[in-house]
Structure 1
Amino acid sequence: MLYLYVLSLATAVYGEVTQNCTSQSKNGATLKVYSTHCYEFQLRHKVDWKAAEGDCSSRGGTLVVINDAEEQNFLMSSLKALSFHGSGVWIGLSDTNHEGTFTWVTGENSSFTFWAPGQPHLSHAGKRFILDGLVDEDCVLMKYSESGHWHDYPCQKLDPFGLVREHYPYICEYDTGTTSAPSVAPTMAPSTMSTTSAALPASPRVPSQ
């Protein structure tokens, strides 16, 4: 009995026990479990946001939905443990359905946020000037190089010539269908977050790109 509790506790903290993860996960991806969900870290596969969400959805999951500070901390700790050196990863948040209202791919509103200062962009009605025109910045990248702060980015390639693209790794999330393990927050915490919970400790330094 004690062994099972320790195993559950380790799963919540480190996300290393993956026997309940989907068999549909891609080769080359790293799987980790936190609470009742399985996370598939597609760190070698760089695509635009729409392709990332389509890939996760085709295998019964979604782009990752971050519900609270503990889950954000788990993702950042996992990226660090995986020696990730990219600038960021796609998450399942966007305002593609209604400009200025960011919702998760599951349809949930975003009650927890971790926007970088000045984000999301409000100038030019949420658009970025690229080459000969403005493009929407509707999809969200969790920037590992900025302590996990969120930035809004264009969802797909930016220009008709293919000179500028927004291709990044991503994280898929699946429901394992198991009972939740004890809730224990990982030790790594971003610096500031918008949430109703108590203040978190300062974030450790994350390698800059």
Structure 2
Amino acid sequence: MKLYFLAKNCERIRNMYCPFCGKQIPDDSSFCPECGNDIRDSWEKQPYPPEIPQQPQKKTGAAKIILIVILILLVIAAGVIAAIIFLKPSPADKAETKTKSESVKSDKEDKSDKSAKDEAKAPADEEEDEEEKYDPTEGGIHRYEFIIADVTWSQAFADCKSRGGYLVRINSEEEYQYILKQLDAGSYQKIQFFIGGRRDSGSSEYYWADEDDELYGDQINTSSYWCSSEWLSGEPSFRDGANEEEYLDLLYYKNEGRWTWNDAPNDILAVVPSFSGRIGYICEYED
């Protein structure tokens, strides 16, 4: 009795699984409630739950990484393409850049032409300046000779030239002070000395006279010239009664205790004969 019971139980246990899908099913089933297969002829063929092959796991992690990398590369490529499209200069921009470049080039050429013209013009300007201004070496300290003789201004001018110099032209305060020291050292206070300045007849402007007796340089009798404070009071007067005074001389004015500038006639002795022996002139030498 016990053996029969065990056999029946074993048979029941053996037939508790679907031979197709391996699911446990009721003992009296004709069809598998899970997979729907007819299992009536298969009870004896599948005493134990069948081994259902395991489906291989999909490797989703690596696929996701690859997909992400591809997406990133696509985004980068799209950005590069967009940058090329938007940053590429349009024909209008190219034309504007070309115009600016040509404008800059034109400006440089204009400046270059102007510079060349200025350089070409410079020598001519320098020549004009040389004609208008006196020798730049004048105004320095040179050698001076003090000559006492009863002569006219014209004779004094010619004599200095014949000696290899010229009738003194005092172009600076420094030069003037140097000459005054020599005058004081020689005790020449009683002599009035012709110097190399004069004016044209009918003019009121005094200038220095060059070696050819041509007037040049800056006007001497102006408030801006360096010797404006050296004139004798009321001078230049241009005339003394009927006598024209067109030439310059230096004289010591005792009332003021200093050497002063004065205008005088060409022939002082013809106007004031008593000045005989008291006329002189200063020759300047640049050797």
**If the length of structure 1 is used for normalisation, what is the TM-score?**
0.55
Q: Is the 8 A contact 2:141 2:175 kept in 1?
A: no
Residue 63 of structure 1: how far off its partner (Å): 0.9
Whether 1:37 aligns to 2:151 is no
Whether 1:59 aligns to 2:181 is no
Q: Within 2, Cα distance between the matches of 1:59 and 1:157?
A: 23
Higher relative contact order (CA 8 A, sep 6+): 1
Q: Is the 8 A contact 1:156 1:165 kept in 2?
A: no
Whether 1:150 aligns to 2:261 is yes
Q: Is the 8 A contact 1:48 1:166 kept in 2?
A: no
Correspondences of 1:98-137 after superposition (within 5 Å) = 99-106=203-210, 107-109=216-218, 110=220, 111-113=225-227, 114-121=230-237, 126-129=238-241, 134-137=242-245
Match of 1:46 among 126, 131, 150: 150
Paired-residue identity, %: 30
1:163/1:35 CA distance change after superposition, 3 Å: closer
Q: Is the 8 A contact 1:87 1:145 kept in 2?
A: no
Q: Which runs of 5+ in 1 are unaligned?
A: 1-33, 177-209
Count of residues paired in the alignment: 132
1:140/1:38 CA distance change after superposition, 3 Å: same
Deviations 1:125-183 (A, max 9, x none): x2222xxxx12101111112351210111112575xx874776111001112xxxxxxx
Higher strand share: 1
Q: Is the 8 A contact 1:115 1:149 kept in 2?
A: yes
Moved more, 147-156 or 108-117: 108-117
Letter in 1 for 2:232: A
1:166/1:55 CA distance change after superposition, 3 Å: farther
Q: SS where residue 188 of structure 2 aligns?
A: coil
1:120/1:128 CA distance change after superposition, 3 Å: same
Deviations 1:11-69 (A, max 9, x none): xxxxxxxxxxxxxxxxxxxxxxx955211111x32322111111011222211111111
Q: Which runs of 5+ in 2 are unaligned?
A: 1-138, 211-215
1:9 is matched with none
1:46/1:145 CA distance change after superposition, 3 Å: farther
> What's the RMSD between the two structures over aligned residues?
2.5
